[in-house]
Amino acid sequence: MYSLQAPNSTIEVSPYPMENTGFTRVESCDFLPITELFNKYLTQKLVAKRQANPKTKRNNVLRMEQILTHYGIDVDKDDIRQFARKTEDGLPICEDWVTKRGSNEMRQARSIFAKGWIARYRQLGIDTSWFANWIALSLEGVQVTPFNPDRNELRRIKQYCNELKTYDQEMYLMYCLAFGIGLRSSEIQRAKFGDLHEDFDGNKLIRIHAPKSGGDFQDRPVDPAWWEEILSFKTSDDALIVPCQEDRITREFPGFLRRRCGITDDRPVHRLRKYCGHRVMRDNGNNAFIAQRALGHSSVEMTAKVYVGQPQIARSF
């Protein structure tokens, strides 16, 4: 059993170097190892809470490991008291990181200390007082860049991606899934023909397993025209829609979009998804709720921030 003592002032100067400033190091003894904390986060589930998928959890842990390693903390050997470490200037290491690097990476790492997880750690008998600085850390809001469509780019995308149907069926279906129904690259890799289905009212849907927003699955409404186009290639329910190596989706297709369609965005496939969201919203009376459901965003506010635009005013004469 690990001792549940509160943080104290017993410190020693760490031998690990750091940019510009030094830091103080809490002495290690019989406390929960950091690796065991990470293991509990990765393997436990929150009761009656939306769950992050395993890949997201692993990425959160990797980000936290990056931050801790930067401050000389050995995640394989040190225990959870090292989360209370401060720099030589007296700043908690989490605050120091945000001051120098910004909030984006810290926001991902701190997901480990979300309110629901802190409650879970306490249920497991873990002393969460060592995480106090991380819990109290104030982070600026996520900066969302509004989508800025381009007519010439859209024309090239439609022209060259539609031509794929005649000579590269796999890549054409990637285009259908991203541009037609708004899937992310990771979702394209997992999508099966059996995921395309209808509800009681005949609405066309696609089921996303382990979605980014959490939960076991998510049913998203789909444009019937794209739904039918994709199903026209169906082989069997269990078959992947795009049965190819991951590199084709994550490297070759983005390369095609950059080279042939002239997309300069850092994430070309994701830009196709944004064109889908833009089209769905505009074709449905600028209804952000419909676009939010189609894209699987966690909130309609997020969708509205990305797909802002001037309202359409009807002609008066």
pLDDT at 27: 44
What residues have CB less than 8 Å from 247, skipping those under 6 apart?
Answer: none
Mean pLDDT along residues 39-66 = 86
Distances in Å between the alpha carbon of 47 and those of 66, 120, 202, 280?
A: 29, 9, 33, 34
Mean pLDDT along residues 54-71 = 93
The sheet with strand 11-13 has its strands ordered as 11-13, 23-26, 86-87
pLDDT tens digits along 178-231: 999 999 999 999 999 999 999 999 999 999 998 877 778 899 999 999 999 999
pLDDT at 16: 38
Q: Is the pLDDT of residue 272 over 50?
A: yes
pLDDT at 53: 80
Mean pLDDT along residues 76-80 = 94
What residues have CB less than 8 Å from 198, skipping those under 6 apart?
Answer: 204, 205
What DSSP state is assigned to residue 80?
A: G
The tokens 């149907």 sit on which residue? Answer: 165
Q: Is the pLDDT of residue 47 over 70?
A: yes
Beta-strand pair 196-198/23-26: unpaired
Q: Is the pLDDT of residue 314 over 70?
A: yes
Mean pLDDT along residues 247-267 = 95
**Closest alpha carbon to 84 in 36, 34, 40:** 34
Mean pLDDT along residues 301-315 = 78
pLDDT at 311: 66
**Closest alpha carbon to 312 in 282, 292, 291:** 282
- The beta-carbon contacts of 300-306 under 8 Å, at least 24 apart in sequence, are 302/144, 303/277, 305/144, 305/146, 306/144, 306/145, 306/146, 306/147, 306/274, 306/277
Domain segments of the chain as ranges: 11-136, 151-306
pLDDT at 1: 42
**Closest alpha carbon to 195 in 248, 272, 183, 273:** 183
Torsion sign, CA atoms 136, 103, 57, 52: positive
**Closest alpha carbon to 44 in 109, 112, 108:** 112
pLDDT tens digits along 87-135: 999 999 999 999 998 888 898 999 999 999 999 999 999 999 999 999 9
pLDDT at 279: 95
pLDDT at 7: 44
Domain over 151-306 is classified CATH 1.10.10.10: no
- Residue 223, phi then psi, degrees to nearest 5: -55, 120
pLDDT at 243: 95
pLDDT at 259: 97
Distances in Å between the alpha carbon of 269 and those of 41, 103, 219, 241?
A: 31, 25, 21, 16
pLDDT tens digits along 138-174: 887 666 788 999 999 999 999 999 999 999 999 999 9
Give the model's confidence band at 315: pLDDT under 50 very low, under 70 low, under 90 confident, else very high. Answer: confident
- Angular region, 58: left φ>0, alpha ψ -120 to 50, beta rest: alpha
Q: Is the pLDDT of residue 2 over 80?
A: no
Q: How many residues does the chain have?
A: 317
Q: What is this structure's pTM?
A: 0.65
The rounded mean pLDDT for the chain is 87
- Cα 115 to chain center, whole Å? 19
Choice between 306 and 29, residue whose per-residue pLDDT is larger:
306
Query: pLDDT over 90 for what percent of the chain?
Result: 68
Q: How many helices (H) and strands (E) does the chain have?
A: 15, 6
